[in-house]
Chains A and B, each alone.
Chain A
Amino acid sequence: MSNLKIHGLLAEFADPHALINAAKAVRDAGYKTFDCHSPFPVHGMDQAMGMKRSSIGFIVAVFAFLGAVIGLGLQGWASTAAYPLVISGKPLFSWQAYIIITFALFVLFGAISAVLGMLRLNKLPRLHHPVFYSDRFKSASDDGFFVSIEASDTQFDAALTKTFLESIGGKNVEVLEGE
């Protein structure tokens, strides 16, 4: 039992309203590495937690554009360099006819990068996370609302942070302990 490490603290809140208020309190207290868990996205939580806008839009823009370039490039190269063949008297580089495949690859690359980019930014997939040490946390995907503060936060102090979470209305404050 001696090699158990404290990873953080977990506190439960009653509903989305309480969670939003808790998020504001935790943010105002100066914590940085905390998260608010809910079974569905709570409207207004980004501002309450003081988060920046997600950068996924830029990732998708870059990859979607890349997809379009690859699409047009593939068709242009195949029809003019790799296999030049005049069909129906059309020019070798008949770009009008290439727009559809260019568009398809634009969407395809954009969509793949939207999903993979989301997973990358969320550091997923991962097999384990300290919050899963808590049995109570199972309800976060059902009807539970939680705030977790990680031990890596510079302000973290197991005892003080616990008192703080209780003072802002957190129920069942738990220490996330594990190997």
Chain B
Amino acid sequence: MKTIEPNRSPSEIAVSAHGALESPLITGNQTFHSVTEKIAGILERKTPKGWYVGFSLAVSLLMLLVGTVGYLVWEGTGIWGVNNPVGWGWAIVNFIWWVGIGHAGTLISAILFLLRQQWRTSINRFAEAMTLFAVICALLFPGIHVGRMWVIYYFFPIPNQMSMWPNFRSPLLWDFFAVGTYFTVSLLFWYTGLIPDLATMRDRAKSRMKKIVFGLLSLGWRGGNRQWQHYELSYLILAGLSTPLVLSVHSVVSTDFATSIIPGWHTTIFPPYFVAGAIFSGFAMVMTLALIARKIFGLEHFITLNHLEKMNKIMLVTGSMVGYAYIMEFFIAWYSGNEFESFAFINRAFGPYAWAYWTMFTCNVLLPQLFWFKKIRTSIPIMFTMTIFINIGMWFERFVITVTSLSRDFLPSSWDYYIPTIFDVFTFIGSFGLFFTLFLLFLRFLPMISMAEVKGVLPQADPHYGHDHASKKGGAA
């Protein structure tokens, strides 16, 4: 049994639920007030110049997106590089990639919450924000790739003038429900987590405008335990509901492929393989953003090397799962004895798209193996570079799956090579504009780290703290 020695500073000791000594989650001798000052202070200081630079860049890219989508509406999907047989090009690749990135937020909020991983508190808020914005970017692509987006309501299960109903057996409709539900639930989860912090912003607000806006957004939160009780249980239930949801979303996305009969798509490994890949790329994106935000806003005491190393371990695990899936796909292609299946995979690795396949393989499987070494796991420049490579690799994974399988299907006479056009590139780059515009607005106007939750994991938040002997008996255990 470890006991807390009152003469040691709070940050020197952090005793986990199991009583084992761990390196502290939050460093720098934080008090409740210093946490508020640090995180809320970021929003109250003058906007840094770097923010304006980043925001202008992001909005410029957003304009590029708006322009390209406008042209797409005017001209039709012919402006893209899609051809026959490759009817699914970058739009679908980007959709899956963005949805995948959007997995980390809810995974961190929900699964790590249920597993009582307290280190999530420093990163969950902006990981959830990232999820929302990534899912918005993702939802853009199925919206525009239909070509005639003014009749996209055919897709929704609503009564229409033709008395038609969508086909509920179609994975594309499952997708609509899965991603739509995922977005809504992530938004609710994020907002629920924000309420106590919005109350903090309300109480600190100086200008009338801020008082009104934060006053309304915080819904009259008073931090009474009668409120916390319902709040905490509601949050726990949301986490419980989100956990199967987050695992189901990319599984459902994978059925878009897996229920078809195209060789290279028609495999049962797809759902778990897609989920592992989604978590992998999502963590990489959270990490990229976290490293930048940590540096710019000086959050080294909140997002410590300890947090970063834990995230790297998750990337190592999920990266290895993805690698296992790549190899297993090959094995099954050979073991099945199906010549179309075998051909599809040999073509992937050694055919015209071999460059894409090996880019994917290097970025996703080989490079993350370096995370076995603690030196590399704890080096910030290396992990930053690694996260970029992982996201490139994961984009190529989706490209390889979508394009290589379609470009060489059953009949050699219908084979064709797919080359994206400049508008494909513009739309993809433009989607970063949308993502970063939203993300930078979030960083500027909402607390990027959950103050209430960080305070809750400080050692002095424990009612036993410093009163260890007094409260042994009849204490509030």
Q: Per-residue CB proximity of A49-71 to B under 8 Å, as 1/0?
A: 10100101100100010000000
The answer, yes or no, to whether B375 is at the interface (CB within 8 Å) is no
Given the complex of chains A and B, what is the CA–CA distance between A85 and B164 in angstroms? 10
Cβ A114 vs Cβ B169 within 8 A: no
B337 touches A (CB below 8 Å): no
Chain A residue nearest to B192 (CB atoms) is A115
* Cβ B221 vs Cβ A142 within 8 A: no
| A: number of interface residues (CB 8 Å) | 73
Q: Which residues of B contact A64 (CB under 8 A)?
A: 241
Let me know if A41 and B163 touch, CB within 8 A. Answer: no
A75 to B200, CA, bound (A): 45
Choose from B178, B230, B464 the contact partner of A121 (Cβ within 8 Å).
B230
**Consensus secondary structure, chain A interface:** helix
A129 and B222 contact, CB distance less than 8 A: yes
Q: A17-B466, A38-B228, A148-B224 are in contact. Are A100 and B200 (CB under 8 A)?
A: no
Q: Is the CB of B234 within 8 A of A56?
A: yes
B461 x A46 contact (CB < 8 A): no
Q: Inside 8 A of A44's CB, which chain B residues have their CB?
A: 463, 475-477
Alpha-carbon distance between A49 and B31 when the two chains are bound, in angstroms:
26
Which of chain A's residues have a CB closer than 8 A to the CB of B388?
Answer: none
Question: What is the CB-to-nearest-CB distance from A79 to chain B, in angstroms, rounded to a whole number?
Answer: 6
* CB neighbours of B215 from chain A (8 A): 127
| B 213-243 to A, binary, CB cutoff 8 A, 1 in contact else 0 | 0011001111111111111111001100110
Tell me the interface secondary structure of chain B in the complex: helix
Complex interface: chain B residues within 8 A of A39 (CB): 32, 36, 196, 200, 223, 451-452, 455
Distance of A24 Cα from B383 Cα, bound (Å): 49
Asked if residues A104 and B237 are in contact (CB atoms below 8 Å), the reply is no
Contacts of A42 in B (CB 8 A): 225, 228, 461, 463
Residues of chain A lying within 8 A (CB to CB) of residue B29: none
Interface residues of B in 240-292 (CB under 8 A from A): 241-242, 244-245, 248, 252, 255
Give the chain B neighbours of A167 by CB distance below 8 A: none
Task: Count A/B pairs, Cβ under 8 Å.
Answer: 219
- Decide: A142 and B184 in contact? CB cutoff 8 A: no
Query: Is A141's CB under 8 angstroms from B200's CB?
Result: yes
User: Is A11 interfacial (CB 8 A cutoff)?
Assistant: no
User: How far does the alpha carbon of A47 sit from the alpha carbon of B477 in the complex, in Å?
Assistant: 9
The answer, yes or no, to whether A9 is at the interface (CB within 8 Å) is no
Contacts of B210 in A (CB 8 A): none
**Given the interface contacts A122-B227, A141-B199, A141-B223, does A17 sit within 8 Å of B178 by beta carbon?**
no
With A37-B225, A40-B452 given, name 4 new contacts (CB 8 A): A15-B460, A17-B463, A97-B169, A118-B234
Interface residues of B (CB under 8 A from A): 31-33, 36, 157, 163-169, 173-174, 177-178, 180-181, 184-185, 188-189, 191-192, 196, 199-200, 202-204, 215-216, 219-234, 237-238, 241-242, 244-245, 248, 252, 255, 451-453, 455-456, 460-467, 471, 475-477
A: residues with CB less than 8 A from B are: 15-17, 19-20, 23-24, 35-49, 51, 54, 56-57, 60, 64, 74-75, 78-79, 82-83, 85, 87-88, 90, 94, 97-98, 100-101, 103-105, 107-108, 110-112, 114-115, 117-119, 121-122, 124-129, 131-132, 138-143, 148
